[in-house]
Amino acid sequence: DTGVSQNPRHKITKRGQNVTFRCDPISEHNRLYWYRQTLGQGPEFLTYFQNEAQLEKSRLLSDRFSAERPKGSFSTLEIQRTEQGDSAMYLCASSLAPDLNFNGYTFGSGTRLTVV
Amino acid sequence: GQQLNQSPQSMFIQEGEDVSMNCTSSSIFNTWLWYKQEPGEGPVLLIALYKAGELTSNGRLTAQFGITRKDSFLNISASIPSDVGIYFCAGSRGGAGNMLTFGGGTRLMVKP
């Protein structure tokens, strides 16, 4: 098991372009989370899936953002019509639920998006 | 978005010194977690705390879940250069998704 894998690691895009990121969670994990981290801040929750169902979305997730996990395995996060304020590290994490004692998640290394 | 209040924001210490950082919230959390993040990587879990008053150690790291459930602290004893990184506290209220609310981080720098 190679942990949570995210691709690409870095993405530079022009304002107005669409971008898509991919996350491959730990294989037996049924929960998958997306967080966003801006420079100098802690991660902020965006959305999470249990299997293929998207169960919660943050108010941070504007209409330009969409996430999918079609087969309950990998997930994609798409940002349409990117804005400079979208520049951030996008972190994916996974966990196995239910768990008797919540033991946090395993995070991936993130995708750093720069919108120019 | 909401974040926990974490202090100090940064620390520059001599190798061998002990370090203490803390995290406070205006609301209650059921689980407190401490993560470390190194440049270009995602956060890595260090310690998880589940009960008010709980004191847990992981090697040179010790963390406590505050009695009011609104705070937590992390101590690192006898710091070494590889302790360098950003330390984040995070709280979970439980519930269906176990979403985490993070602090703003404490940047630790260790001088050999």
Quick one: closest CA in B to A4, which residue? B42
Nearest CA distance, A50 vs chain B (angstrom): 8
Which tokens sit at A82? 């990117």
Q: Is the pLDDT of residue B85 over 90?
A: yes
- Show residues of chain A in contact with B92, CB under 8 Å: 102
- pLDDT score at B2: 60
Percent of chain B whose predicted confidence (pLDDT) is above 70: 98
- pLDDT score at A11: 98
- pLDDT score at B1: 54
Give per-residue pLDDT as tens, B22-77. 999 999 999 999 999 999 899 999 999 999 999 999 999 999 999 999 999 999 99
- pLDDT score at A98: 76
**Is the previous residue joined to A98 through a cis bond, with omega within 30 degrees of 0?**
yes
- Show residues of chain A in contact with B88, CB under 8 Å: 42-43
Residue B23: which residues within 8 A CB-CB, separation 6 or more?
A: B4, B5, B6, B7, B32, B71, B72, B73, B74, B89, B91, B103
- pLDDT score at B21: 97
Instruction: Give CA B65 to chain center in angstroms.
Output: 11
Rounded to whole angstroms, how far apart are CA atoms B44 and B3?
18
- pLDDT score at A102: 74
Q: Is A46 on the interface with B (CB under 8 A)?
A: no
Task: For the beta carbon of residue A18, count every other beta carbon within 10 angstroms.
Answer: 11
> Which of B88, B99, B103 is nearest residue A56 as measured by Cβ atoms?
B99
Contact criterion met (CB < 8 Å) for B40 and A58: no
- Show residues of chain B in contact with A97, CB under 8 Å: 98
- Inter-chain Cβ pairs, chain A and chain B, closer than 8 A: 77
Q: Is A98 on the interface with B (CB under 8 A)?
A: no
- pLDDT score at A41: 94
Residue A98: which residues within 8 A CB-CB, separation 6 or more?
A: none
Percent of chain B whose predicted confidence (pLDDT) is above 90: 89
Q: Which range scores top for mean pLDDT: A6-15, A97-106, B95-104? A: A6-15
Q: Is A91 on the interface with B (CB under 8 A)?
A: yes
Contact criterion met (CB < 8 Å) for B42 and A33: no
Give per-residue pLDDT as tens, A1-42. 579 999 999 999 999 999 999 999 999 899 999 999 999 999
Give the C-alpha distances (Å, rounded to integers) separating A32 from A1, A62, B30, B86.
16, 19, 21, 24
> Side by side, which strands form the sheet with B71-76?
B5-7, B19-24, B71-76, B61-65, B55-58
Rounded to whole angstroms, how far apart are CA atoms A105 and A21?
19
The mean pLDDT of B73-95, rounded to a whole number, is 95
> Which of B42, B44, B103 is nearest residue A42 as measured by Cβ atoms?
B103
Give per-residue pLDDT as tens, A41-91. 999 999 999 999 999 999 888 999 999 999 889 999 999 999 999 999 999
Residue with tokens 């902020």: A44
